[in-house]
Amino acid sequence: MSIRKRLTLLILSMVILTCFLAFTKGYRESMNQAEALLDNELVTLAHVLIEQPLSKETPTHSTDLPQLLFQVWVDDKVVSSSTSLHNNPINQSQWQPGFSVENLAGQRVKVYRLSEANKRVLIAEPLSKRVALTETVILSAMTPLLWSVPILAVLISVFVKQGLAPLTRLSNQLQHRQANDFTAIPWQTPEQEIKPVINRLNDLFKRVESAYLRERFFASDAAHELRTPLSSLKINVHNLLAQGGDNIELDAMEKGLDKLSNIVEQMLILGRTYPEQWQAQFSPISVLEISQQVVSQLYDRIDEKEHTISIEGDDFIIDGDEFTLVTLFGNLLSNAIKYTPAQGELSITLKTDNSRYIWQIDDSGPGIDEAQKQRIFNRFYRVGGDKHPSGEQGAGLGMAIVEHIVSIYNADIALADSHLGGLRVSVSFIQGDRSE
């Protein structure tokens, strides 16, 4: 739930609760005040009736007062009465002046009795009339307040939206910012709550940019600087081998230089695999053609270990870049060749699954366990280290490069056990627009 909705609901709930409490208290107060007013009315009417010039010789008569019951006695004779009490004289044996609640004429009434000289007056009012009248007054007073709650909810929502507008603008600006955009937020705001947030974000962007650039360029710069001296060393070792024939130490040195050169090249590739650099130059690429190209480039190694390799499935076209795809598939195939024993089997499969294109490679090597699958994408991590049973040399950067390239394509990579007995690596690309 958004902050706006949460604040609106919270404030509205508080307003409704406050209105309810006010309504409850107002209802009680109004009932008490209405009760007092109606009691005063009964007292006034009782005095009016007792002051009438009536005597016990006055003919007994009945009349009606709206929603009122009454009887008037002179000495012990009823001289005037409401119609409903005309034939039901009130028992005077327990006459108590003042107010009481009784049952008269088949209804619950509030009774007021008044005595003065030889006259007595009883006047009563139905409780149902009192409740109905009081509720009508209270509801007429409270109805505008109840109707104002929806209007108040709209106003609260509008004002909360306006109050959170700076935070919403900041959120939208951050949402549309590119991942590699570390420029300061050019936003001057008077809101004291937002200002420190922007200042801290700008400070954070500056620090992250420094770390980003340092991490991005250090490896590639270092690798680039190492290429020239490594090339010179390789030439010198080659010349020494050519002049002096076989030499175990020189052979070992040459292999070490080859390994170091491979590390340098991998570091250079790793330094170049950033999404913003490649996505701008994507174009339709045949995955089958790239796969065939990778197989042809590594065929000498495949033939050397007497592997059988197959490419199965139908071709599909994705938006991509030839260099990154060759590097991606090449590293995966190179690993499969490296760790699959001689006379093993390799299989590349191209297939479509729902809205995804899948490039998959299986090998008949020893495979890896679940713990190794979790670490295989870490830089410089090698399964088994330098003591891997295959005896193959490596830098531990190949799968890190694979993961970087997979992120360029917004693709997914999955590791599983292969039906050939070794490892299965699947790379799935989203069909259609690469920006999805």
Residues linked to residue 109 through DSSP beta bridges, in sequence order: 102, 126
Residue 115's pLDDT is what? Answer: 86
185 part of a folded domain: yes
* 197, 329: one domain: no
Question: Which of helix, strand or coil describes residue 58?
Answer: coil
Range 350-376 average pLDDT: 86
Q: Is the pLDDT of residue 361 over 90?
A: yes
263 part of a folded domain: yes
Model pLDDT for residues 394-405, shown as the tens digit of each residue: 556 778 888 888
* 324, 418: one domain: yes
* 313, 268: one domain: no
Higher-scoring residue by pLDDT: 413, 226: 413
* 288, 402: one domain: yes
Sign of CA dihedral 113, 114, 115, 118: negative
Q: Is the pLDDT of residue 264 over 80?
A: no
* 24, 112: one domain: yes
436 part of a folded domain: no
Across the chain, mean pLDDT equals: 78
Residue 436's pLDDT is what? Answer: 41
Model pLDDT for residues 104-116, shown as the tens digit of each residue: 777 888 889 888 8
The residues near 188 (Cβ < 8 Å, ≥ 6 apart) are none
From 99, 121, 156, the end of a domain falls on: 156
* 200, 103: one domain: no
Whichever domain contains 360, its CATH number is 3.30.565.10
Residue 244's pLDDT is what? Answer: 66
* 191, 303: one domain: no
Model pLDDT for residues 64-101, shown as the tens digit of each residue: 566 788 888 888 788 887 877 766 666 666 677 888 88
Range 146-150 average pLDDT: 78
- Cα gap 320→435, rounded to integer Å: 12
Domain count, the chain: 3
* 121, 25: one domain: yes
229 part of a folded domain: yes
Task: Look up the domain containing 389 and give its range.
Answer: 277-430
* 151, 97: one domain: yes
- The band of 28, judged by pLDDT with boundaries at 50, 70 and 90, is confident
* Sheet architecture: strand order including 61-63: 61-63, 77-82, 69-74, 119-126, 107-116, 98-104
The pTM of this model reads 0.48
Whichever domain contains 202, its CATH number is 1.10.287.130
From 124, 156, 188, the end of a domain falls on: 156
Model pLDDT for residues 271-321, shown as the tens digit of each residue: 655 666 667 778 899 999 999 999 998 998 899 999 999 999 989 999 888
* 13, 150: one domain: yes
- The band of 434, judged by pLDDT with boundaries at 50, 70 and 90, is very low
Higher-scoring residue by pLDDT: 194, 322: 322
Tokens, residue 173: 């600006």
Closest by Cα among 20, 91, 23, 105 to 62 = 105
The residues near 206 (Cβ < 8 Å, ≥ 6 apart) are 182, 184
398 part of a folded domain: yes
**Contact yes or no for 122/90 (Cβ under 8 A):** yes
Q: Is the pLDDT of residue 35 over 50?
A: yes
* 333, 354: one domain: yes
332 part of a folded domain: yes
**Contact yes or no for 283/319 (Cβ under 8 A):** yes
80-99: b (≥16 Cβ within 10 Å) or e = bbbebbeeeebeeeeeeeee
**Contact yes or no for 431/355 (Cβ under 8 A):** yes
169 part of a folded domain: no
Report long-range pairs for 303-306 (Cβ below 8 Å, ≥24 apart).
305/337, 305/340, 305/341, 305/342, 305/343, 305/344, 306/342, 306/343
* 40, 18: one domain: yes
Using a pLDDT cut of 90, give the percent of the chain over it: 14
From 256, 272, 288, the end of a domain falls on: 272
161 part of a folded domain: no
First-to-last C-alpha distance (Å) of the chain:
25
